[in-house]
Amino acid sequence: LETFSLLAGGFAGALSPQNLLFALVGSVLGTLVGVLPGIGPTSGIAILLPLTAFLPPTPAIIMLAAIYYGAMYGGSTTAILVNIPGEVASVVTTLDGYQMARQGRAGQALAIAAISSFVAGTVSLVGLTFFAPPLADVALAIGPPEYTGLVILALAVVVSLCGRSLRKGLASALLGALIAMVGLDPQSGRRRFTFGVPQLIGGVDFISVIIGLYAIAEVMTNVHTAVTKVSAVPLGRLFPTLRDLGACVGTMVRCTLVGFGLGLLPGCTPGAISFLSYDIERRVSRAGSKFGTGAIQGVAGPEGANNAATSGGFVPLLALGIPSTPALAVLLSGLMIYGLQPGPLLMEQQPAFVWAVIASMYVGNVMLLILNLPLVGLWARLVMVPYPVLGPLILVFSVLGAFSVRNSTFDVWVALAFGLLGYVMRVLDFSATPLVLTLILTPILENSLRQSLSMSAGDVRIFLERPVALGLASLGVVLTAVSLYARRRPGAGATGAPRQEGS
Amino acid sequence: MGTLRKRGRVWLAVSGAVGLALVLFAGPGAAPAAAPTYPARPVDMVVAFAPGGGADVTARLVATYLSKKWGQPINVVNRPGGGGILGTHEVLAARPDGYTLMMDNHAVNAMLAASQTDLPFKWDERTPIARVTFDPVFYCVKFDAPWQSLKEVVAHIKANPKTLRWGTAHAGGISTFAITQFFAAAGVDLAQTNRVIFPGGAPTLTALAGGHVDFAGQQWSEVRGLVAGKKIRALAVVLPQRVKEFPDVPTAREAGFPELDVVGWQGVTGPPGLPAEVVERWDEAIRGAAADPAFLEQAAKIGKVIAYLGPQDFRKFMFAEYDKYLPLAIKMGLRK
């Protein structure tokens, strides 16, 4: 009950005209940052950080937080409309979202993304509101062996994402793992696969890879096939039917649980979580067999999950002072500039501030829903824009985005190189999704596996002694086996694919 | 930024005579005579790490303070990658006109030079301007750990070889140096402990608070929240005097290890051959800030101790750091 009065106090703070204004500004900026490929919440928050010198702490942090969760709303927009994820966490949304757009259902896809984001984001906030400190202790109990198990579980998704040919999909996944290895060995600090190029010491930037594989390769493919518009069919109804919404209820419940639960863990990024949610839906939901061909659950799941994950990420941030993503690390430095010492005492010592920020997140999510639904009609028309106009614009934003991540021209070249690679992969029918997944997961796996073995002085029995780790890893192995079996079953010809994938 | 401008030049030159002429014009135009009017335009202060880290926070503190004072924006530019090598490389290759400087720190300065022999730049050619802050190391254990002092940790390791797990941020990070130095002083063989490497201070301390490692040595700005919140406990701080925020935490000397002196710091440096006017202007401004109560208060809020040193002393300090870290880097098998 004490929580209710604290939250009420928080709303009183969050609903003051000034704080409302900054929540709105943050939501709009966040949506924008999410829509633009490359410019992510990390750069968005960092660019606005100097403003903190002129603002009191509460409105400033309310705004920066709104940029963070607002970006998750915006990230799906270009993923659905033009097959270009605006955020890492929206990569998997392209699989079904873009197919929906090509079938004239762009509006429905955008709407369900916004609705699912709102539901999952808001329900997760309730978890943050009432259970943050105990949940933070749960997050602490998850150590390197458990993360190792979790990644093995997540790797089971690779088989599902392989597209028509298992071998081609696995090749793509291996390439992703290899690219993730470039740079400094995280354990020894030694350089590897840098070939004497100083810029490669920093590794291959993730965003550049995505911009290349998706945005640039997409434009090249569309030029190649002389596409005049994204959607060949006229735009259909803008909003999902009640039946569609009903079909997504189970999806929203599951993605909220998965997104919030994993979002609590500082080692799990929303990017990895959205992939997991997609795979769960593919296996569990009734429309599972239609995944990859424009299933509405394939959009609702990952988009809800990444929003639930952002709410979950505020648990370790507010209850422990531990940032789970680079964007939250910047937010944390914003707190420090104000002398609001992040840590377990923050909620105790600064209740007015903490609760105003939490309350503002409820408000911000409502704003984002109200903001995004009317925009659906406008955005959806983007698919009717002649491609000779749209394509060059996409290229401009791609180059800008690649540069902006690290202020580096080298990254622009990397994006162009991956554009070429992505184009070749499309021509040869290799799916890029497994590559992105292993690119996300490999660093987590490598670090947690080697950390676990360091903890036990090289004894692999550490994985047997930790039941959670063992359980997760075993589940991963079982699911991989199930997926492999399922691929073999339909038709005796082993190369026949159970499902199609967005080109 | 320097390399950008340079790469821009290459492009222009390729595009022909017009481009060449442009470069010739742009050359003198882009580098206005510094002295009395410096800074005449915005200054880039490069941080070789992502936003939110120790150097970044100090950079933003200094940038905000001096932007107001000078009426010229000081822009903090994050150039992360390769453990700070990329950003440092870029600054050291930049035009020495005073418009590209960096918020240097322990990690990309002497520590890097002591552990890597094949850096793409000469570390000692940079122009030191002023050291600004210290971010001291705290040796910590989990809050409910049985050990009450550094001596008890040492006794535990000696009695139970190969069981103590210590966490550290990056293979060649400050915590690795700090703990290696501590073990050397205590007569503990590194091989009798389990080193677990994490990709940063936050994950290291998360693992400590969760009991996945037993011991860590991270910086003040990183540990303070979890120490105050009783998730971890500090056994000693490496600083000549105790930190006001934690009056109960003894100094390393008081804890029986007077030889410990690994320290995190931040300071302003620039490319080789920076004009004396620029160095003087910055040094004067930072010296002024270090005596300004408002600046001191801000620094304490972000977990930093003011540790001003002028250009000459800062240079001496850098080389003393190198001499200190070289044997440690060799001991850790880090140097190559």
* Closest Cβ opposite residue A333 in set B56, B77, B85: B56
Per-residue pLDDT of chain A (503 residues; tens, 9 = 90+): 788 899 999 999 999 999 999 999 999 999 988 888 777 888 888 888 877 778 899 999 999 999 999 998 888 998 999 888 888 889 999 999 999 998 989 999 999 999 999 999 999 999 999 999 999 999 999 999 999 999 999 998 888 888 788 999 999 999 999 999 999 898 888 889 999 888 888 889 888 999 999 999 999 999 888 888 777 777 788 888 999 999 999 999 999 999 999 999 988 888 899 999 999 999 998 888 889 899 999 999 999 999 999 999 999 999 999 998 889 988 988 888 787 888 899 988 899 999 999 999 999 999 999 988 888 888 888 888 888 888 898 899 888 888 887 778 899 999 999 999 999 999 999 999 999 999 999 999 999 999 999 999 999 999 999 999 999 999 999 999 998 888 876 543 333 344 444 43
Mean pLDDT value of segment B317-330: 94
Instruction: Put the strands of the sheet holding B165-169 in their side by side order.
Output: B194-198, B165-169, B215-219, B137-142, B232-237
CB A279 within 8 A of CB A476: no
Distances (CA, A) of B16 to A129, B19, B24, B327: 63, 5, 13, 53
CB A337 within 8 A of CB B301: yes
Please state, in angstroms and rounded to a whole number, the distance separating the CA atoms of residues B336 and B326.
11
Please state, in angstroms and rounded to a whole number, the distance separating the CA atoms of residues A147 and A371.
37
CB A433 within 8 A of CB A91: yes
H or E segment to which residue A392 belongs: helix A387-406
Mean pLDDT value of segment B193-212: 93
CB B48 within 8 A of CB B88: yes
Residues 21-60 of chain A whose Cβ lies under 8 A from any Cβ of chain B? 42, 45-46, 49-50, 53
Contact between A332 and B221 using a beta-carbon 8 Å cutoff: no
CA atoms within 13 A on the CB side of A433: 34
**What are the tokens at B33?**
């005579």
Residues 250-279 of chain B whose Cβ lies under 8 A from any Cβ of chain A? none
Contact between B226 and A343 using a beta-carbon 8 Å cutoff: yes
Contact between A45 and B51 using a beta-carbon 8 Å cutoff: yes
Which pLDDT score is estimated for A250?
A: 94
Residue B61 contacts A, CB cutoff 8 Å? yes
Residue A105 — φ and ψ, nearest 5°?
Answer: -105, 30
Mean pLDDT value of segment B51-75: 89
Q: How far is A349 from chain B (nearest CA, A)?
A: 11
Q: Return the residue of B nearest to A182 by Cα.
A: B82
Q: Return the residue of A nearest to B6 by Cα.
A: A409
Which pLDDT score is estimated for B147?
A: 97
Which pLDDT score is estimated for A230?
A: 78
Contact between A343 and B206 using a beta-carbon 8 Å cutoff: no
Residues 185-244 of chain B whose Cβ lies under 8 A from any Cβ of chain A? 194-199, 202-203, 205-207, 209-213, 221, 224-231
pLDDT at B22 over 90: no
Contact between A266 and B203 using a beta-carbon 8 Å cutoff: yes
Please state, in angstroms and rounded to a whole number, the distance separating the CA atoms of residues A317 and A492.
52
CB B263 within 8 A of CB B239: yes
Q: How far is A333 from chain B (nearest CA, A)?
A: 5
Contact between B52 and A338 using a beta-carbon 8 Å cutoff: no
Contact between A198 and B86 using a beta-carbon 8 Å cutoff: yes
What are the start-end ranges of the H helices in A36-56? 41-48
Which pLDDT score is estimated for A262?
A: 94
pLDDT at B30 over 70: no
Chain B CB contacts of A323 under 8 Å are: 52, 202
Mean pLDDT value of segment B287-316: 92
pLDDT at B233 over 70: yes
Residue A349 contacts B, CB cutoff 8 Å? no
Residue B302 contacts A, CB cutoff 8 Å? yes
Facing residues of B128 across strands?
B269
DSSP assignment string, B45-100? EEESS-TTSHHHHHHHHHHHHHHHHHSS-EEEEE---GGGHHHHHHHHTS-SSSSE
pLDDT at B33 over 70: no
Contact between A140 and B51 using a beta-carbon 8 Å cutoff: no
Mean pLDDT value of segment B118-140: 94
Residues 352-381 of chain A whose Cβ lies under 8 A from any Cβ of chain B? none
Residue B72 contacts A, CB cutoff 8 Å? no
Residue B108 contacts A, CB cutoff 8 Å? no
Q: How far is A432 from chain B (nearest CA, A)?
A: 25
* Closest Cβ opposite residue B231 in set A189, A331, A344: A344
Strands B194-198 and B165-169, by their bridges, are: parallel
pLDDT digits (tens, 9 = 90+) for A70-115: 998 888 998 999 888 888 889 999 999 999 998 989 999 999 999 9
Pick the closest to residue A231 from A390, A383, A393, A389 (CA basis). A383
Confidence of residue B171 (pLDDT cuts 50, 70, 90): confident
Please state, in angstroms and rounded to a whole number, the distance separating the CA atoms of residues A135 and A141.
10
At residue A160's C-alpha, the angle toward residues A462 and A110, to 5°, is 115
Contact between A450 and B197 using a beta-carbon 8 Å cutoff: yes
Residue B171 contacts A, CB cutoff 8 Å? yes
Maximum pairwise Cα distance, chain B: 76
pLDDT digits (tens, 9 = 90+) for A422-472: 999 999 999 999 999 999 999 999 999 999 999 999 999 999 999 999 999
Residue B157 contacts A, CB cutoff 8 Å? no
CB B305 within 8 A of CB B133: yes
Q: Which residues have CB under 8 Å from B58's CB, separation 6+?
A: B103, B105, B132, B133, B266, B299, B302, B304
Chain A CB contacts of B165 under 8 Å are: 454-455
Which pLDDT score is estimated for B70?
A: 92
pTM: 0.88
Contact between A333 and B60 using a beta-carbon 8 Å cutoff: yes
Please state, in angstroms and rounded to a whole number, the distance separating the CA atoms of residues A139 and A263.
9
Residue B10 contacts A, CB cutoff 8 Å? no
Residue A345 contacts B, CB cutoff 8 Å? yes
Please state, in angstroms and rounded to a whole number, the distance separating the CA atoms of residues B190 and B177.
12
DSSP A165: -
Q: Which residue has the higher pLDDT, A266 or B166?
A: B166
Burial tier of B262 (Cβ tally within 10 Å: 0-12, 13-18, 19+)? buried
Residues 279-338 of chain A whose Cβ lies under 8 A from any Cβ of chain B? 316, 320-323, 326, 329-333, 336-338
Residue A468 contacts B, CB cutoff 8 Å? no
Chain B CB contacts of A343 under 8 Å are: 224-229, 231
Which pLDDT score is estimated for B34?
A: 43
What are the start-end ranges of the H helices in A194-248? 206-210, 217-224, 242-247
Place of tokens 């002649």: A386
* Closest Cβ opposite residue B194 in set A190, A199, A455: A455
Which pLDDT score is estimated for A489?
A: 66
Q: Is A272 helix (H, G, I), strand (E, B) or coil?
A: helix
Contact between B86 and A202 using a beta-carbon 8 Å cutoff: yes
3-state helix, strand, coil in chain B (%, to 5): 45, 20, 35
Place of tokens 């060799």: B330
